[in-house]
Amino acid sequence: MQVQKDKVVIIDYTLRNDNGDILDQSAPDAPLAYLHGHNNLIPGLEAELAGKGQGDEIEAHIAPADAYGEYNDNLIEVVPRKMFQGVDEIEPGMQFHAQTGQGVQVVTVKAVDDDNVTIDGNHALAGETLHFNVTIKEVRDASQEELDHGHVHGPGGHHH
C-alpha cells in the first residue's frame, strides 16, 4: 500500500538541523502514526513521503518555506511586564500561549528587564532547513472515525 491521502502512515524518524544536531526523533519502540493529507505533518515532508511504501527509507531536506516558515522579524514584540501577572519569574526561553491577531500562538521569551518582556512569535524551527531520515513501518487504511477527526487513533496517534 502506498502513502497517499487518507492513509495512516506509521514512521520512525530523526530530525536534524544544518549542523547535524538531532532536534527530534521518535522513540525506538514508539513510532509516529499520522493521517496523510490532513495537515498533520509539515507539507514538505508529506510531499516526500507520498507514493512511498512500507519499508522505504527516505532522506528529505526541507526548506523553511515548506517546513515552519521563514524567520519573521515582525513577530518580535516588546510588551509590558505587567501583562505577565501571576507569573513569578520570567526567563528567556520560557514559552507562553498568547492571544494574537492570528489566534492563539506560542510565544517564546527572548529577553526580560524590570519593565518589559521581549517575546518572539516565530515557531522555534522557523528559518531552519530540516533534515529528516524516515523509515516507513506501515501504511494502512484509516477508519471512518479517524477520517472524521482528521487524525490517527490508537498507538502513536492522538489520544482522547
Q: What are the two backbone dihedrals, phi and then psi, of residue 74, each rounded to the nearest 5 degrees?
A: -70, -10
Shortest gap between Cβ of 160 and Zn ion (angstroms)?
Answer: 6
CB of 119 closer than 8 Å to CB of 107: yes
Q: Which is nearer to Zn ion, 48 or 146 (CB)?
A: 146
Q: How far apart are CA 134 and CA 146, in angstroms?
A: 23
CB of 109 closer than 8 Å to CB of 91: yes
16 near Zn ion, judged by CB under 5 A: no
- Within 10 Å of residue 138's Cβ, how many Cβ atoms? 16
Q: Which is nearer to Zn ion, 16 or 149 (CB)?
A: 149
Closest CA to 157 of 30, 72, 48, 71: 30
Residues 96-155 that bind Zn ion (CB under 5 A): 149
Shortest gap between Cβ of 159 and Zn ion (angstroms)?
Answer: 9
Q: Which is nearer to Zn ion, 110 or 149 (CB)?
A: 149
* Contacts (Cβ under 8 Å, ≥6 apart) of 76: 110, 118, 119, 120, 121, 122
Shortest gap between Cβ of 11 and Zn ion (angstroms)?
Answer: 19
Number of residues that bind Zn ion (CB under 5 A): 1
Q: Which is nearer to Zn ion, 36 or 123 (CB)?
A: 36
Q: Which is nearer to Zn ion, 37 or 64 (CB)?
A: 37
> Footprint of Zn ion on this chain (CB under 5 A)?
149
